[in-house]
Chains A and B, each alone.
Chain A
Amino acid sequence: MAEGAAPQLGYRLPLSAPSARSGSGLVTAARRFRFRVAGPPVARAAALLGEAWSAAMAGSRLQKTGSVFSRTRNLLRTGVVPKPLWFDVYAAFPPLREPLYRVARPRRAAATDAVPPVLYREDEVRAKFYKVYGSGPKPFDLSQPNYKSTCQRFVEKYNELKEEGKIEEENLFEETGKALLASGITLQRRGTDRVAQQDHQDEEARDSALRLQLQTTLEELQEKKESREEQPPELRETQKENPSP
């Protein structure tokens, strides 16, 4: 549309038309190139040192204007530079996004296109597990690629029991704990129902938590003893890893 406005002139008068700035960018850039390249000092130096030097000297160092490809294409069109090696390759296989310079301004607070959080259905079970049992009996061993943590086993057992459908929703959590106990993994409770209570008497709270812990461990020991008597002696070896004696 700009070219149609002034067909007789070989160029447009760009500076007085700020609205057409994006369209005239190419023209103004080309004018700037002309000033940089075709000056008398360059011609003299070329005569002294040979063609290769002048060809190497010509170029466009405006990394904020257009991409490497667009600048090189324009330089080739004016004929000041020999065709670089990569030009045809880029033309045949362009990148997914043209590498234009963008100013990295900090975004306003209300970011509409922010990165979504990654959440799964099992996260509810995991959150409850960590709240009740803390970080689990054994640490994560990330050197193995297919490592399954206690929490992951818990979640899988939970899903299995849920799919079976025999147990109700409220009891599912405890049933999973018991099922894991039966397969040899002991879980120590961290301290129950301290969520919304901010007690002034911290010592009392600590004592009560300790007492609860003792109770639960004693209960578990008793359960284990009973289950040990029922189980065949081979399974006793799997229970050696538990911390409580």
Chain B
Amino acid sequence: MGCSVFSSLPAVDPEDRLLAEPLRHPDFFNVKELFSLKDLFDARVHLGHKKGCRHRFMEPYIFGCRLDQDIIDLDQTMQHLQLALNFTAHVAYRKGIILFVSRNRQFCHLIESTARECGEYAHTRYWQGGLLTNAHIQFGSGVRLPDLLVFLSSLNNVFEPHVAIRDAAKMNIPTVGVVDTNCNPCLITYPIPGNDDSPTAMELYCKLFKMTIIRAKSKRKHAEVFQELQSQEKSDTSHPVLAESRA
């Protein structure tokens, strides 16, 4: 009994240390180096829609209006993108399920292949009403909902906010989303103000998310392996008599 209690204690502590360690660094996965302002500019992330399409809540993220076309402030986009990628990386590190959502048919295949390559999930087709809110009836009782929703375009085919944004907020699931100048960024936990219509911009986002998730997962594997090695060393060097006297 005493031996089993003592053997269970170290199992909890390293696990917590494994999860708590990344939270101490401001940029544990070094997502800042994945993109630069010039990359965003070259990928035309700063180009918004025309003045008439502007959503009121996007005004703080817009740099200015040039010949009636909104230009998104890339300095703010850099900050938001860093936060969003950092959050995604931490969720992937903790083995969370990430679901990519977009209703933009032009990039549906790109997003699905991105999700497949980084080992996560994508839903770029028609969103049925109760997918998140009625999951236990639609999919069975033991279903696990995604821990993070990534919107690469937050509007649906009729230019209304995607239902999944509201549903994720209802189910207390955090969201990361690319918001263009005609989108509502209110309910999205980590919005990324940026263009969601240009192919170059979408390819950039997909590349960034894929690299962050793969990086986070590989770091997790390394950390687990390292911990296993450490625990093996400890069990090799520790004496059973000394262990019981400690307890």
Contact = CB atoms under 8 A, between A and B. Distances in A.
Nearest to A103: B186
A118 B172 CA distance: 40
A96 to B, nearest CB: 7
B56 interface: yes
Contacts of B136: 53, 56-57
Contacts of B71: 118
A110 interface: no
Interface residues of A, number: 40
A86 B96 contact: yes
Given A68-B189, A95-B83, A104 B169 contact: no
A146 to B, nearest CB: 10
Nearest to B82: A93
Contacts of A85: 91, 94-96, 147
A68 B80 contact: no
B11 interface: no
Interface stretch (A58-66, A161-169, A181-189, A214-222): A58-66
B187 interface: yes
A171 B203 CA distance: 48
A6 B55 CA distance: 44
A63 B173 CA distance: 11
Interface string B161-189: 00000101111111100000000101111
A59 B174 contact: no
Contacts of B83: 93, 95-96
B66 interface: yes
A10 B138 CA distance: 41
A102 interface: yes
B80 A96 contact: yes
B169 A93 contact: no
Q: Describe A's contact surface by its main secondary structure.
A: loop
A86 B66 contact: no
A13 interface: no
A33 to B, nearest CB: 12
B65 interface: yes
B64 interface: yes
A114 B87 contact: no
Contacts of B142: 52
Interface string A24-56: 000000000000000000000000010011001
A116 B170 contact: no
Counting from the closest, the 10 A-B pairs by CB-CB distance are A118-B64, A63-B169, A61-B170, A118-B66, A89-B90, A92-B23, A85-B96, A85-B147, A99-B189, A102-B186
Interface of B: 19-20, 23, 42, 51, 54-57, 59, 62-66, 70-71, 79-80, 83, 86-87, 90-91, 94-96, 133, 136, 141-142, 147-148, 166, 168-175, 184, 186-191
Given A84-B147, A86-B174, A115-B62, 12 more contacts: A63-B166, A68-B189, A69-B189, A86-B91, A86-B147, A86-B148, A89-B87, A89-B90, A96-B83, A99-B189, A102-B57, A104-B186
10 contacts: A62-B170, A63-B166, A63-B170, A85-B147, A86-B94, A89-B87, A89-B94, A99-B175, A99-B187, A113-B59
Interface of A: 49, 52-53, 56-57, 59-63, 67-69, 71-72, 75, 84-86, 88-90, 92-93, 95-96, 99-102, 104, 106-107, 113-118, 145
